[in-house]
Amino acid sequence: MISFPPNSPSPTPAAKLPRHHHDHNKNSNRHVPKAISISSPPPTITTTTTNHETTPLDQNDDAVAAFWDYQFLFISQRKETTQPITLLPVNGAVPPDFPKGTYYLAGPGLFSDDHGSTVHPLDGHGYLKSFHVAAAGEGNKEVQFMAKYVRTEAQMEEHEPETDTWRFTHRGPFSLLKGGRRVGNTKVMKNVANTSVLKWGRRLFCLWEGGDPYQIDHRSLDTVGRFGLIDDGGGGGEKKEKESHDAGGGGVDLWDVAAGLLKPILYGVFRMPPKRLLSHYKLDTKRDRLLTLSCNAEDMLMPRNNFTFYEYDSNFKLLQKQEFEIPDRLMIHDWAFTDTHYILFGNRIKIDVLGAIQAVCGLSPMISTLSVDPPSSSTSPIYLLPRFPENDDGGRDWRVPVEAPAPMWLLHVGNAFQTVDESGNAEIRVHAATCSYQWFNFTKLFGQ
Ligand SMILES: [Fe+2]
């Protein structure tokens, strides 16, 4: 809990869509564990099943299903369901008053190619599923299912549609390829659009933590193309000039020089976009705004970060854009906001020299370039950045983080909101799960 001078008294939920799940194309045979779902649904339309009574076998099925579900969690799904099929209920039926609409689910779909390489799930090509709840007559509801790969540039390069075969050509930041050239392979980053799914302003997107989202046709699930959400607001509408804040004191900055040397390498050799969009977005339902966050490509390698926050209306008009330069080496994956602030939780990282050498030599994934850095501080910074500087009463310097009293690792945030205590002080409350640590193997965090 953090106290500071009062601002807004109203809690603001930070709504967002869930990310990971897997599909459950269920079989009416009750001897089959209920959650197994790796094969493609049959192309024929199924019919409504009859109810059957619950037996002890069903209860045992839950444990069996959980085991097998996990075994199949990271198995590639080679097939697409390009036309809607009606899912067959195993038990019961969709409640008649269940709301109509479509639930979209994004995640990696392909982990192994046809040439012996297996990639980390975070490098798996994006696979989008839709569950459309529709009327089925006589007051009943049914669920229609579709699933397609996102046709990213990388997907079209690595998949041969005529033979339906795959060959990974990009390493991906979390993986090593079994075949192909390892030393000097600069094809590292590939936008696989596999992290979040977002429907906003009558458009559907699949996001990736590293570049532009891909726009998807919300009915056919066909890929429309990359959508420039970072630089110009995508819709091309009127935009407000960016406001920039930094914590520096002016003069010649050696890190500016270093950044200037790094950028041509990252942009030109490794083909990284200058700014990378974080996969976690936020919806401010009170103001009807989409909030996104980007950082610079070179930030991971520099002892400072440049965070840019964007706020769009439902027509993708960029309402405001603010950049904050924070002089700290941090890894940020998720974030939070309230009525008055953006909130960043700083995970301290450093360059691992041995890991970097191994990564460049193709002996380990590129992510092993980084490691945790708990010895640099016994605290963890939480930055409260003013969302509307024009309303800032000057009561708090955003450059000074709140220091949580232990090295902590925080990747995802549940919610954040503001309240006012009995003395009239505004409080920011954050709901999140974090772990306190002394040290851990950073690359093992990604299963390496
Ligand atoms: Fe995440």
Which residues contact residue 204 at a Cβ distance below 8 angstroms, ignoring those fewer than 6 apart? 104, 197, 198, 215, 216, 217, 218
Q: Are residues 252 and 383 in the same domain?
A: yes
Q: Which domain holds residue 144?
A: 17-228
* Total number of domains constituting the chain: 2
Q: Are residues 94 and 208 in the same domain?
A: yes
Q: Are residues 62 and 202 in the same domain?
A: yes
Q: Are residues 223 and 236 in the same domain?
A: no
Closest CA to 109 of 221, 224, 272: 221
CA of 390 relative to ligand 1 center, distance in Å: 31
Q: Are residues 40 and 77 in the same domain?
A: yes
Angle (CA) 48 49 55, round 5°: 155
Q: Are residues 165 and 240 in the same domain?
A: no
Q: Are residues 262 and 371 in the same domain?
A: yes
Is 52 annotated as contributing to ligand binding?
Answer: no
Q: Are residues 195 and 288 in the same domain?
A: no
CA of 279 relative to ligand 1 center, distance in Å: 7
Residue 257's pLDDT is 67
Residue 160's pLDDT is 96
Closest CA to 328 of 399, 275, 259: 399
Task: Give per-residue pLDDT as tens, 425-443.
Answer: 889 999 999 988 888 888 7
Supply the pTM of this predicted model.
0.79
Is 125 annotated as contributing to ligand binding?
Answer: no
Retrieve residue 347's tokens.
């995970």
In the chain, which stretches have pLDDT less than 50?
1-52, 54, 232-242, 249
CA of 232 relative to ligand 1 center, distance in Å: 25
Cβ neighbours of 230 (radius 10 Å): 20
Q: Are residues 355 and 434 in the same domain?
A: yes
Helix, coil or strand: residue 408: strand
CA of 88 relative to ligand 1 center, distance in Å: 31
Residue 239's pLDDT is 38
Q: Are residues 245 and 210 in the same domain?
A: no
Residue 374's pLDDT is 76
CA of 11 relative to ligand 1 center, distance in Å: 23
CA of 280 relative to ligand 1 center, distance in Å: 6
Is 21 annotated as contributing to ligand binding?
Answer: no
Residue 246's pLDDT is 59
Query: What DSSP character marks residue 108?
Result: E
CA of 261 relative to ligand 1 center, distance in Å: 30
Q: Are residues 52 and 181 in the same domain?
A: yes
Q: Are residues 7 and 49 in the same domain?
A: no
CA of 411 relative to ligand 1 center, distance in Å: 7
CA of 20 relative to ligand 1 center, distance in Å: 9
Residue 58's pLDDT is 60
